[in-house]
Amino acid sequence: MKKSELLAPAGSFEIGKAALYSGADAIYLALESFGARAYAKNFSIEELTDILKIAHTLNKKVYVTVNTLIKNSELTLVYDFIDKLYMLGVDAIICADIAVFMYVINNCKPMECHISTQVGVKDLLDTKFFESINANRVVLARELNINQIKEIKENSNIELEVFIHGALCVSYSGGCLFSSLLSLRSGNRGRCSQNCRREYVIHENGVPITKPGYYLSMKDLCVSTNVKELLKINIDSLKIEGRMKNIIYVDSITRYYRNLLDNKPANIDELNKIFHRQYTKGFIFGEDPKNISTIKDSSSQGKYIGKVTRIKNNKIYINSLDVINVGDRLRFVHNDISIYITVSLMYDENGIKIEEAKGLISLECSEKIESNSLVYKMKENDISVEINSNILPLSIFLYGKKENKLGLTCCVNDEYFTIESDSVLQKAIKNPLSCETIINQISKLNDTPFYIDDISFDIEDDMFISLSEINNLRRKMVEYIYNKYHKKRNVIARCPLYLKKRNINYSNAFVAVVQTREQYDACKELGISNIFFKNISPYVNSKYNSIDEEEVLVGNYGGLIHYFNKIITTDYSFNVMNKDSILHLLNQGAQHVTLSPEISFNELKDLSIDFYNSYGVKPPVDYIVYGKNKLMSLKYCPLKGLGRCGKCHTNEYHLVDKLGKFIIKTKDDCIVEIYNDSPLNLIEEITKIKGGILNE
């Protein structure tokens, strides 16, 4: 049985090393461009080169995320960037844009193509599409349950990657426009403003029915008690989320799951010491959708350590179940109100100032804390991380005699190699070379994955060679091992792109997408002939129903397979922003491509010109000019926890905050959609937009 991979995040070089040394089989990271976590520290090319050497020497892998949407002006840059990653020896690229993953598949073997969760692989047909184009792996949507994942695994031959721990997006990944359209910071381009973590009030028929709360803020995923079920169905990769998290977080989580997977003791208390929101087992293991959010607080909940027993003279008295240190961050909760303090002065039960304690203690505090408040430890001042980097044993034999070079034979992973010093051994005038000196210098491997497990000698007595020469021999040994296991690749020759079909149907008419019969009839009365109503395969929860109409609006990659004999228009959920993405969708069976709402008019015009210059025809694209933008699609329902289940069909509901009002719409299959209440209106710009698309 194939061993499941443990995949850990690396937001920086030091964190990447920590993850590898703590038990990850692979790490995923981004450089300073094209990664979906633009605000992480990320890697330089030099750091990527170094982490590749370490990982490959340990027989581990490095994946690089290139999972943002690519603008047309960035195509040359991103292709050159991928070429560089290929030549450096990166094991896989995690992709979201079809232009990127087709480039990797067509040009970059043996570097693998992994389809990012940003693509939204939600069912078997989605998976089969990526299998059909020879992708190596798909990262499944976090909304799938264990039975759906099992079905996909049993009926496909592509690797599956599943999230097991970390922050959850409330929206289906890749389908969120909230940040982009309201904050002008595109989540699909790595700059999410996290509107889901803000406070909202829910209105019913225009009347507030809740207090301000975090109705879109999800708990953190933790499947520790169920992870063995994923092993039973042979999931290929188990993924920890957290490229924005610090080294303590990554080291602790990775070490914990490594122990679980290896059937070693794993203490859940170690997870409670680090930053996290309340934990949930997620949709994957059947969490009730109404319990998967954390309405009262969007941040970390902390570890419960006791209650406030009394308050006197600006002192808070606590009977703590855990050790509290000066510098710890504590949260006090009373009537759903949280107050945070950092411990500065602390006393034992006799009033003596102390630095740490457990049990009866008192704290000086100027905040108004209520008696009987619950106390949570948010941040422990004493948490530190000691990473044992030396995990690969070396067996070394050193030999030499007068007027000969000092030789070193090393055994690593049951393979032998020999290197020599640059200068020769000489008869010592004084202070001859000792075994202790050699051991001391050769063993200075602290910044490498290696340690000396065994060392032996056959060196003529009373010899001398400089310490710098011994140090240089050690460096040559390390570099030899790195080069042995890390292989760079030669430059690649790109496969040319071309349009497979030329019988493109251009429509100058308006196209309408409607959700009700009333909307359909109204469009008909206005003379609109191209209307998508019942002939829609949605982005989320497509049932792939039989469609009588000749044309179909497809929202997901599985629809390209199922409706291959129809006239397909791909919906905006394909997030198309460049000419090559249009080309690939046309070559995969689409007749028309709806562009991303995130594209500007100037970008649209440049894309259109570039497509024509590259492929000799005008691009058959649609552009949204009117309607209420869908901001999110959710499996979680914010109304269910309020006891409003089913009332969505008779009442109107909105999320309201200082930025605006947002419609909560629940479909018949209980998928929730959030819409901007203010419609997009580009009607007066239609002539300009049409000219930009058709170069007129």
HSE on the CB side for 476, CA within 13 Å? 17
Neighbours of 402 (CB within 10 A): 14
Sheet of 590-594: strand order equals: 536-537, 551-554, 567-570, 590-594, 621-622
Query: What is this structure's pTM?
Result: 0.88
Cα separation, 613 vs 599, in Å, equals 20
296-327 in b/e form (b: 16+ CB < 10 A) is ebbbbbbbebbbbeebeeeebbbebebebbbe
H or E segment and range at residue 227: helix 227-232
For residue 455, the cross-strand partners are 396
Cα separation, 597 vs 634, in Å, equals 19
**Residue carrying structure tokens 């092993």:** 231
The per-residue pLDDT for 693 is 77
Question: C-alpha angle with apex 241: 227 to 255, nearest 5 degrees?
Answer: 60
Both structure tokens of 375:
């106390």
**8 A C-beta contact, residue 7 and residue 24:** yes
Backbone φ and ψ of 437, nearest 5°: -65, -45
Residues contacting 356, CB < 8 A, separation 6+: 323, 324, 325, 326, 346, 382
User: What confidence tens digit (pLDDT) does each residue in 384-415 have?
Assistant: 566 778 889 999 999 999 999 999 999 999 99
H or E segment and range at residue 627: strand 626-627
Closest of 473, 375, 459 to residue 423, by C-alpha? 473
Residues contacting 335, CB < 8 A, separation 6+: 370
Ranges assigned E (strand) in 368-428: 374-379, 392-400, 405-412, 415-424, 426-427
Residues contacting 104, CB < 8 A, separation 6+: 82, 93, 95, 111, 112, 113
H or E segment and range at residue 587: helix 579-587
The per-residue pLDDT for 46 is 94
Q: What is residue 113's three-state secondary structure?
A: strand
Cα separation, 479 vs 474, in Å, equals 9
The per-residue pLDDT for 649 is 87
Please classify residue 433 by burial: count the beta carbons closer than 10 Å to its beta carbon, then call 0-12 exposed, 13-18 middle and 19+ buried.
buried
Question: C-alpha angle with apex 510: 506 to 511, nearest 5 degrees?
Answer: 90
Both structure tokens of 560:
């390209």
Both structure tokens of 472:
């240089």
Cα separation, 296 vs 219, in Å, equals 11
Both structure tokens of 681:
């209106």
**Residue carrying structure tokens 């039973």:** 232
H-helix segments, 133-198 = 146-154, 178-183
Cα separation, 81 vs 471, in Å, equals 36
Compute CA distances 609 → 74, 350, 578, 602, 695, whole Å: 15, 80, 11, 11, 7
Cα separation, 283 vs 637, in Å, equals 12
Q: Dihedral through CA 603, CA 605, CA 608, CA 610, nearest 10?
A: -70
Cα separation, 667 vs 646, in Å, equals 11
**Residues of the chain whose pLDDT is less than 50?**
381
Question: C-alpha angle with apex 189: 620 to 297, nearest 5 degrees?
Answer: 130
**8 A C-beta contact, residue 427 and residue 460:** no
The per-residue pLDDT for 656 is 95
The per-residue pLDDT for 300 is 66
Question: 286's torsion region: left (phi>0), alpha (psi -120 to 50) or beta?
Answer: left
